[in-house]
Structure 1
């Protein structure tokens, strides 16, 4: 019994990797746990710390891989144009994940959808958390215009301010606030470089939602940007096999605002 317990404890211990990707860059990645594989993808201006409060319980039931997108967190900056869908494929190949479930928040959800449409045989399930979608046309309101201007002007200070006010409106004192602030500040300048070099390949998942043939969970928070709720509704309407949930007390950073409830939903969906 003691030997089995030791083996389980070792399986739960995180193991970090440097995953080689195109152009000589390296992605920081971590895996832990055993069982059916799950890959966690974070949003723009964040890093894999987004999942800190979800991973421990999820890894008790699954083999969990999370990684920092190119140029963010502990990953190296891009040297040339890159494709985030191909970066995801490189991570999956590195860990020899044949057909994992993909759990993506915001930009990570967009990448997950694009990957599933490009490689449908390599995905077993999707969980789209406060997801964006390639091809979606965002409304031209003052907030969105200011956000776009800060990115265009490469103003990292202004971009961090807008990230907090638009996407983390529950503030620093709400659950997860300290880590959210840290991620935003750590990645504000890095994301400008990465977004500038992320190739625009003209993908349009909005036109292909009916081709998503895996069970899909759609989740968003009740304090998120209104357009995220609109996208969630379009995902539910467009993807054939979906379930959905709107979580109270959460803005765009659901895995840190309401980690217990989100983890429950993910475990039920991936069972």
Structure 2
């Protein structure tokens, strides 16, 4: 196992961990998360793959942005740093969106794609009081309220389901810094990924928990239907934090490729 800080644009550094041997796999977390999201699967994956996880810019142990940046460019920097020509990408939530966008931009660098409870560029979310309250807490930079809304809305199985202690610590810490990371991220292009799904040519698996937010289920089906040859896996007893709620099931899915 090696831990490194990878240089990226704007004098930034990404905390990254690499372990194991075999075909390379990179794990990408969501927007109020860090690499702890993968604690339940990382050691076992390292028995079968060369597996890399890292904290996205401005989250976890990575440095905050000092200039506009792209999460996709940071992923490219990670691959180049470790000398990985082609990798399997496994992304959750925002990490899934980044993995999908990266695949569309750099198809030669991707071996396969696993989208777990993924968001997707260009998908129009419906309005709801719960989502509006979440967005307001985020917009106002209220870290305590954002963490509370995140845990209520996205960790819906609560504190009696597996992984809650890790989820709570991770969310509470990253809610304090999420705003800087989000504001620093520069989005380019007028066409969202949902309009380009037929251009994805790598083997793709879409995974969603049966207790995830209903709109994530809508996105999952949209991805599975739009990406040629994609398969959909619905995991029981899992909310949005599927890698910590049902790690064994996710391992089965990921290692089946």
Inter-partner Cα distance in structure 1 for 2:67 and 2:176: 17
Q: Displacement of 1:16 after TM fit?
A: 0.3
Inter-partner Cα distance in structure 2 for 1:59 and 1:217: 20
Structure-2 residue corresponding to 1:263: 251
**More deviation in 187-196 or 22-31?**
187-196
Q: Displacement of 1:39 after TM fit?
A: 0.3
1:109–1:131 Cα contact (<8 Å) kept: yes
What are the ranges of 5 or more consecutive residues in structure 1 without an aligned counterpart? 1-13
TM-score by length of 2: 0.98
Structure-2 residue corresponding to 1:241: 229
Q: Displacement of 1:243 after TM fit?
A: 1.3
Q: Displacement of 1:80 after TM fit?
A: 1.3
2:148 alignment partner, one of 154, 161, 180:
161
SS at match of 1:65: strand
Structure-1 residue corresponding to 2:61: 74
Q: For this pair of structures, how many residues does the alignment match?
A: 256
Q: Displacement of 1:117 after TM fit?
A: 0.4
For residues 51-99 of structure 1, what are the alpha-carbon distances to aligned partners after superposition, in whole Å with 9 as ceiling and x for unaligned?
0110111111110000000011111111111100000000010001101
Structure-1 residue corresponding to 2:169: 182
Inter-partner Cα distance in structure 2 for 1:134 and 1:155: 25
Structure-1 residue corresponding to 2:81: 94
Q: Are 1:219 and 2:207 an aligned pair?
A: yes
Q: Are 1:18 and 2:5 an aligned pair?
A: yes
1:156–1:192 Cα contact (<8 Å) kept: no
What are the ranges of 5 or more consecutive residues in structure 2 without an aligned counterpart? none
**More deviation in 49-58 or 105-114?**
49-58
1:34 alignment partner, one of 6, 15, 21:
21
Inter-partner Cα distance in structure 1 for 2:156 and 2:253: 23
TM-score by length of 1: 0.93
Q: Displacement of 1:192 after TM fit?
A: 1.2
Structure-2 residue corresponding to 1:149: 136
Alignment of 1:194-233 (within 5 A): 194-202=181-189, 204-233=192-221
Inter-partner Cα distance in structure 2 for 1:152 and 1:261: 35
Structure-1 residue corresponding to 2:32: 45
Larger radius of gyration: 1
Q: Displacement of 1:260 after TM fit?
A: 0.5
Q: Displacement of 1:189 after TM fit?
A: 1.1
